Amino acid sequence: MAVPSPLRRVVLLGKNALAVGCLDVLRAAGAEVVLVVADPSDQGVDDWQPSLARAAQSAGIQVDRPLRINAAETIDRIAALEPEVLLSCQYAQLLGAGIRGVASAATLNLHFGPLPKYRGVAPIYWAIHNGESETGVTLHHVDAGIDSGDIVATRRVPIQAGDTARDLYLRSTEAGIDLLREAWPLVSAGQADRRPQDPAGSLYYNRHSVDYDRRRLAWHDDCAAIANRARALIFPPLQYPEICVGDEVLEVGAVSWDRIDHPGRPGQVLAVDDTGILVAAPGGRVRLSDLHNAGRPLDGAALTRLEATPGVILA
């Protein structure tokens, strides 16, 4: 019996370090990346994230930046390239039936969550917010649902006690690139697993489930829940959780908590030093460190000048 030829013709859709790393993996594995589909905003300039468009152009690969991936003219352009695999890596637009049908073998997505758990938007935020001890990355087929297609491969990503969303994002990016490196030979050979997801184990968060403009910390929850939400919001340069001292808004760059008893009210400052503020919370204490005001780091003296002193109740 004849051995099928390996799948080689790939269209890569995506952005950021994940997509750039996956482009490198595909090229190193001998895949022919016939097109890179970048975000319309990707003008080929590296920022805190590398530009996928720049990486593709440097490799001599054609780049498209369609405003609507599901438009008929976009589908026709991509179909004319006769791709065997479409691979999405943090691509922002949902892939409709037309574009999913362009690839002759598979349309795949690399998702920053351990499917079927944490389908949808902001899986890293929700994993930290919910106090998980680990998350994962998943390579899966794209179907009509949201992150609900059959699973090809997964990789676990531990969550450490002090991890911020930025920390976990960086590790998930590395894990996703490694997962593709491991799985691609089987995908290319047509020998990869294809495991249906169990919907009973799924969680789904839509794009309205988290509002990153609401960053002020509240103090009515358990100390662990307060710290977890704060860590889930720490993602420089995009956002930090905030506290209010008098008329000043302070940004929080690191958070920890403990179960030590205290006499304070929720949100009351218990102690101040050069590392930050210790705050009373239900069930224990929360330490807020790496504090900034308008981008300026704050030591103990600066915090005292702002009246962040023991006994003050944080708004």
Q: Say what the pLDDT of residue 27 is.
A: 97
What is the maximum alpha-carbon separation in the chain? 80
User: Exposed/middle/buried for 45, CB within 10 Å: 0-12, 13-18, 19+?
Assistant: exposed
Mean pLDDT of the chain: 95
Q: What is the pLDDT of residues 264-297, one digit of tens each?
A: 999 999 999 999 999 999 999 999 999 999 889 9
> pLDDT band for position 73 (50/70/90)?
very high
Backbone angles phi, psi at 89, to 5 degrees: -130, 95
pTM of the predicted model as reported, rounded to 2 decimal places: 0.94
Q: What is the pLDDT of residues 101-130, one digit of tens each?
A: 999 999 999 999 999 999 999 999 999 999
What does the DSSP 8-state code read for residue 239?
B
Q: Say what the pLDDT of residue 3 is.
A: 47
Q: Strand (E) positions, the chain?
A: 9-14, 32-38, 63-64, 85-89, 106-111, 119-120, 134-141, 151-158, 204-205, 242-245, 248-258, 269-273, 276-281, 284-293, 296-297
Backbone angles phi, psi at 178, to 5 degrees: -65, -40
Rounded-to-integer distance, Cα 72 and Cα 111, Å: 26
Q: Say what the pLDDT of residue 5 is.
A: 66
> pLDDT band for position 6 (50/70/90)?
confident
Whether residue 300 has pLDDT greater than 90: no
Whether residue 1 has pLDDT greater than 60: no
Whether residue 94 has pLDDT greater than 60: yes
Q: Say what the pLDDT of residue 4 is.
A: 60
Q: What is the pLDDT of residues 14-57, one digit of tens each?
A: 999 999 999 999 999 999 999 999 999 999 999 999 999 999 99
> pLDDT band for position 201 (50/70/90)?
confident
Kindly give, in sequence order, each residue whose CB lies less than 8 Å from that of residue 154, ignoring residues fewer than 6 positions away.
114, 115, 136, 137, 138, 139, 179
Whether residue 2 has pLDDT greater than 80: no
